[in-house]
Amino acid sequence: MSHTNATPAASGQRHDTPEPENGQTLPPPRQLDLMDHGGHAARTRADAAASSLPKSQSRRDAIELHVAGCGADGATRWEIHVALAMPYSSVCSPVHELVVTGRLRETERTRLTAYGKPAAVLVSGLLPEEAKP
């Protein structure tokens, strides 16, 4: 069975290019950039960062309050994720900021996550340091 394709693309004609008028030649169509490396991208990142500030502060506060409420038992990042119903990826950065500022402290203790991996136990920075064995 013979098959012929009569579409413009098969005949070598571009169907998306307008025909020139009065013998003029048209410039080739401009290909749009997939990635914007200029000012638009910088403004978008700045807008995203500014809109996340109130949310990140409330996340840090919620995490700090939860860990302080756990007392000397503390909490792992995984336990914070479960208790506060936050995505795990949304817990790690605020916890890091709280540790750097001294509002939380990582202890030498670990507990296993639901996947059986050891996780550092965090306590409030207001609690006294644990005695080292």
Q: How confident is the model at residue 28 (pLDDT cuts 50, 70, 90)?
A: confident
| Reported pTM | 0.58
Q: What pLDDT, on the 0 to 100 scale, is given for residue 122?
A: 96
Q: How confident is the model at residue 22 (pLDDT cuts 50, 70, 90)?
A: confident
Q: CB of 100 within 8 A of CB of 43? A: no
Using one digit for the tens of pLDDT, what is the confidence trace for 83-125?
999 999 999 999 999 999 999 999 999 999 889 999 999 999 9
Phi-psi region of 109 (alpha: psi -120 to 50; beta: other; left: phi over 0): beta
Task: Determine the CATH number of domain 58-124.
Answer: 1.10.10.10
Q: Which of 102, 107, 98, 100 is nearest to 61 (CA)?
A: 98
Classified as helix, coil or strand, 36 is: coil
Q: CB of 62 within 8 A of CB of 84? A: yes
Q: Write down the domain spans for the chain.
A: 58-124
pLDDT of residue 127 exceeding 90: no
